[in-house]
Structure 1
Amino acid sequence: MFVFDAHLDLAMNALEWNRDLTWTVEDIRKSEAGMIDKPDRGKNTVSLPAMRKGNVGLCVATQIARYVKRGSPLPGWNSPHQAWAQTQGQFAWYKAMEEIGEMVQITNIKELKTHMALWERGASDSKKPIGYILSLEGADSIVTIDHLEKSHEMGLRAIGPAHYGPGTYAHGTDSIGGIGTKGKELLKKIEELNLILDATHLCDMSFWETMKIYNGPVWASHNNCRKFVNHNRQFSDEQINELIRRKAVIGIALDAWMMVPNWIRGKSTPKDMGVTLNQMVDNIDHICQLAGNSLHVGIGTDLDGAFGKEQTPDDLNTIADLQKIPVLLSKRGYSDGDVKNIMHLNFIKFLERIWD
């Protein structure tokens, strides 16, 4: 089954983790043996060959660079200009992948249809380019509104106003606050450019303030349900219903602490906590039950988003194991049509609708 993954930090892994994503997952793991600078060394799950193996032919790929003010406990860049420069380095990596035929940027409906037709022609071509839709996770690197226009010209098609903590334009995960004047200006420009607003990571207050004034397209690339893990990183049923009302699609993530309660970072293990792909299906099913259909949920793994096998489902070794999900959905009574909606069609139809 073709898979659309709505959230992968590919360029971050390439530039900050120094991973050559043209290698196999196994070769990347071997290259990191003995490294201790990051807790997920040698435990990666994503590479371009693994994506091809799992028929993950299209993804939303991020740029990400947080700006933090003095005294902040969060890691990040000391100025928005440094953050901007980091995102431009990440963009250059995507372009370098395009130059060698590994990836192709998708920015409009014509490119989307051409890419889907290529991948639908069967598996005979083992080196089909991975399609990517460029997204900015956290808007701190947008120094001025002019920078957002520049990014749009370079193909940016989705943007999340915040990440973790208080941001320049909104408050994100584990913080409390609204969007303020700058946030309102950003939302106005996002709507004007017909960019997709990514509601992921908005704290509750910023989420509801955003919903009051923003009328453009919105999705949540990687967000789970608060019903299962009672934390502000997840969406409440009220938030999910608001997104459903706005014809959004919510991508379900595979970060273990978002999948089961009482996860302790650095101590809990997927095996001990019973974390499997079944929890992903639980989240998918909950959104389908709220919506009354299978049209508002998809896959947004966030795999290798600063974590690896130590914090992913025990039955997932690489991203290619997303092919286990259709079977799990079928066992829950989901039809072939429902499964296709969840695995790729919902996000693709969303793009067709807003880009048409």
Structure 2
Amino acid sequence: MELHDVWFVLIAVLWTGYFFLEGFDFGVGVLTKLLARNRPEKRVLINTIGPVWDGNEVWLLSAGGATFAAFPEWYATLFSGFYLPLLLILLCLIVRGVAFEYRAKRPEENWQRNWEHAIFWCSLIPAFLWGVAFGNIVRGVKIDQDFEYVGSLWELLNPYALLGGLVTLTLFTFHGAVFTALKTVGEIRERARKLALRVGLLATALAVLFLLWTQVDSGDGKSLIAMVVAAAALVAALLANQAGREGWSFALSGITIVAAVAMLFLSLFPNVMPSSLNAEWSLTVSNASSTPYTLKIMTWCAGVATPIVLLYQSWTYWVFRKRIGTQHIAAGASAGSAH
């Protein structure tokens, strides 16, 4: 296996980690409208991800940085062709982070409600658009002989990509509902489990349709195995949720995301961005990569830095592992900080 193949796998791992971790906190953000009935419950939901949401976004920065350094042609074509959707995602992530911090700064009802709206929409929109973006990457877009995207914005909103967006939105919301049930106590925990069942059934139907479509269009034996694992894990996650085994349910919903992302990258390889105009114009791991020397330096750096990041993030989750509920919110403090 050559270094550009190794870095394709590493970038796939980074995106998988991002969707696994950021997926549940996108889901929790969506649940602030769907699940929470009052301000203390919204405070509980936000507190479940308060210590970890910003650390989860490190995986996105790492994936973007690795793509820029390891596959500059892929990065250039992707970020120029998908400029508006990616800009909207970036703006949502900025506003979402500000909303977590600023929601508690003033006690006025309108102030807090507006920031809560921002948390909801800036969680929902990226959760949907990431599926649209990756749907287009796997499906292929109009790339010319100069490796430049020559399509329009509206061509990115095709049925396959939109279905991918609905899959990521519902799957992340299910992942977030299971995480909420795992991290809370009392009535909100029970309602999270019931909502997880409803959202999970919808996610299952959409995911099976999307993954079958992907398999028929561009899959092989390896992607078929990943598809079966994803579908089986999602069904098992629903069963574990019904049995009140939130830990198992969360782990299985995470396996679903890991297997689904793995299937997309397996369907993609050796391309990194297929051309729908001419297969010879597709960006591949070889024609889009940096020089071997650059990849070698990156490999050494990643080998040193990655274990440190993993250890630190694991320690963070261990420290903040306990369940919380409205009884842990001090009287009159429902407008307080999410940290």
Q: TM-score range by the shorter chain?
A: under 0.3
Bigger helix fraction: 2
TM-score normalised per structure 2:
0.28
Bigger strand fraction: 1
TM-score normalised per structure 1:
0.27
Compare relative contact order (CA 8 Å, sep 6+) and give the higher one, 1 or 2: 2
Q: Which has the larger radius of gyration?
A: 2
